[in-house]
Amino acid sequence: MLATLIQKELRAIILSPKFFGSFAICSILILLSVFTGIQEYKASQKQYDAATNLVNEELLVATSWGNLDTKAYRAPDPMQVFVSGLSYDVGRWSNISPETGVKLRHSAYSDDPIFAVFRFVDFAFIVMFVLSLIAIQFTYDAVNGERESGTLRLVFSNAVPRAKYLLAKCVGSWLGLAVPLGVPILLGLLLVLVMGVPLSVGHWAKIATLLALSLLLFTFFVFLGVLISTLTRRSSVSFLVAILVWVLFVMIIPRAGVMAAGGMVNVPRVAEVEAQREGFANERWDKFYADMIKVWENSCSISAEGRWQSMKAEDSARKAIEQEIEEFDARLQEDLQQRRTRQEDLAWTLARFSPAAAYQLAAMSLAETDTQNKTQYEDAMSTYREQFSQVVEQKRAESGDELGISIGMSMTPDGKQEIAVGSSRDLGALDVSDLPRFEPPKQTYAETAAPTVVDFGLIMLSILITFAGAFVAFLRYDVR
């Protein structure tokens, strides 16, 4: 009997006039999103390769340790083909220099604002907005629609258990929608292989997890439509309720959670933090230059040895101030990061009351296109900056090349000491073979999948709640 009821639901869905239109639209969107994602990834990879090669060439032709700096770039990931997340919003590179801190800048959307107007439509977006809406569209009248047509009374004129009938409704609706949509998804994966996107075993594991997560979200909305249908008597009412609930879960709750967290946890803007750092630095440098002016005014009456010692003291004082500014900036950044983390944790906790938000957060975590990825790159670049600065400072001390000027002390034949100052342009190409190179942070599949366990659990719990609610409501449903 269960198989017969499921077959009935399958025929009703597949033979429905709206099925072919919905299937065609979803197929086109899925294939188009994958194709566009592949093109964007290849363009990003080409740009990344060209930029890193240019950075290496600039280091090879550098002639001064005094003003040597470099750049570190964020590497594109093949998973952004399916889940773009924040990959186009976060800056693509940061300057690496002993004098300046790490700051990601020049995101894809900041360089080309026209693409930020309509954003990027990826697979996760289609699942969250389009497929969920289609699931609601096909199930909002699953029960009350048959009551209005008289089919429900006819079915229960026979010995059909209500639990079995409801289970057939859910399973039949799910199979009738999920199985056909698997075709364009498989074609999209085939397109990825044909177009030569480099996917490792870890990437395929992430894709499989993403598909399982998408299937769970789709199941939730199928069951949600059935639940709404069992709670209302008329299909016109259930349609309005279903649309309102869909808007609530997909649009309102995720954004309300973020807005509420923004009001509860105060996080200073980046401009405010930079202003604090700039104010502290200006105060320290003003005092330093005021002290140096006094020293320079008295330098005419001292010997060459005294002037040399004065220059060494000035250099030590300058380095001490730079260290103070670095430590102050580190404290500011640490406080800012802690506040951001608290705000994000609260925002994601509130947003996860919506299964759609839980899906989006899990998908971005799998694809490494979430806010955590930005933090990981900033930490990796800060570590690289420390290593790079340490080597550069050592080279400056060995060569006497400070800020483009070579300073040395020599002894004349008559026993007098002389200070020699020369331009670093005479030094020629530098030996940068021992300079460290930036390595983008990498995560294993286990590290990216671990945060999604909570989201998997929440979506599965939502499925159980909606099915249980539909079951209880249908047991009391008046079929007349």
Confidence of residue 270 (pLDDT cuts 50, 70, 90): confident
User: At residue 57, does pLDDT exceed 50?
Assistant: yes
Q: Name the nearest CA neighbour of 437 among 134, 146, 96.
A: 96
User: At residue 407, does pLDDT exceed 50?
Assistant: no
Quote the pLDDT of residue 289: 81
Q: Using an 8 Å Cβ cutoff, are 375 and 443 in contact?
A: no
CA distance 186 to 196: 16
Quote the pLDDT of residue 419: 47
User: At residue 24, does pLDDT exceed 60?
Assistant: yes
Whats the size of the chain, residue-wise? 480
User: At residue 400, does pLDDT exceed 70?
Assistant: no
Quote the pLDDT of residue 254: 94
Q: What is the pLDDT of residues 137-161, one digit of tens each?
A: 999 998 888 888 888 888 888 878 8
Quote the pLDDT of residue 336: 85
Percent of the chain with pLDDT over 90: 49
- Asked if residue 78 is part of any domain, the answer here is yes
Quote the pLDDT of residue 410: 47
User: At residue 417, does pLDDT exceed 50?
Assistant: no
- Asked if residue 263 is part of any domain, the answer here is no
User: Would you call 410 helix, strand, or coil by DSSP?
Assistant: strand
What is the pLDDT averaged over residues 344-361?
94
- Asked if residue 338 is part of any domain, the answer here is no
- Asked if residue 35 is part of any domain, the answer here is yes
Query: What is the rounded average pLDDT for all residues in the chain?
Result: 86
Quote the pLDDT of residue 415: 47
Q: Give the count of alpha carbons within 13 A of 430, CB side only.
A: 28
Number of domains within the chain: 1
What is the pLDDT averaged over residues 126-134?
95
Quote the pLDDT of residue 53: 93
Percent of the chain with pLDDT over 70: 90
410 DSSP β-pair partners: 418
Quote the pLDDT of residue 301: 60
User: At residue 433, does pLDDT exceed 90?
Assistant: no
What is the full DSSP assignment across 96-139? E-SSS----B--HHHHSTHHHHH----HHHIIIIIIHHHHHHHH
User: At residue 309, does pLDDT exceed 80?
Assistant: no
Confidence of residue 425 (pLDDT cuts 50, 70, 90): very low
Quote the pLDDT of residue 98: 78
Q: What is the pLDDT of residues 227-265, one digit of tens each?
A: 999 999 899 999 999 999 999 999 999 999 999 998 898
Q: How far is CA 256 from CA 157, 267, 337, 368, in A?
A: 47, 17, 22, 24
- Asked if residue 197 is part of any domain, the answer here is yes
What is the pLDDT averaged over residues 53-74?
87
Reduced DSSP (H G I as helix, E B as strand, rest coil) percent helix, strand, coil of the chain, to 5: 70, 5, 25
- In sign, the C-alpha dihedral spanning 73, 74, 78, 81 is negative
Q: How many CB atoms lie within 10 A of CB 465?
A: 14
- Asked if residue 303 is part of any domain, the answer here is no
Confidence of residue 355 (pLDDT cuts 50, 70, 90): very high
- Asked if residue 279 is part of any domain, the answer here is no
User: At residue 305, does pLDDT exceed 80?
Assistant: no
Q: How far is CA 229 from CA 285, 297, 375, 383, in A?
A: 71, 89, 44, 56
User: Would you call 4 helix, strand, or coil by DSSP?
Assistant: helix
Full-model pTM: 0.85
What is the pLDDT averaged over residues 299-319?
69
Q: Select the more confidently predicted residue: 43 or 2.
A: 43
Provide the domain limits for residue 471: 2-252+352-378+439-475
Q: What is the pLDDT of residues 324-337, one digit of tens each?
A: 888 888 888 888 88
Q: How many CB atoms lie within 10 A of CB 384?
A: 19
- Asked if residue 401 is part of any domain, the answer here is no
Q: What is the pLDDT of residues 84-118, one digit of tens each?
A: 998 888 899 999 987 777 888 888 887 777 766 66
Confidence of residue 121 (pLDDT cuts 50, 70, 90): confident
Q: What is the pLDDT of residues 466-480, one digit of tens each?
A: 999 999 998 888 877
Confidence of residue 189 (pLDDT cuts 50, 70, 90): very high
Query: End-to-end distance of the chain based on CA atoms, in angstroms?
Result: 22
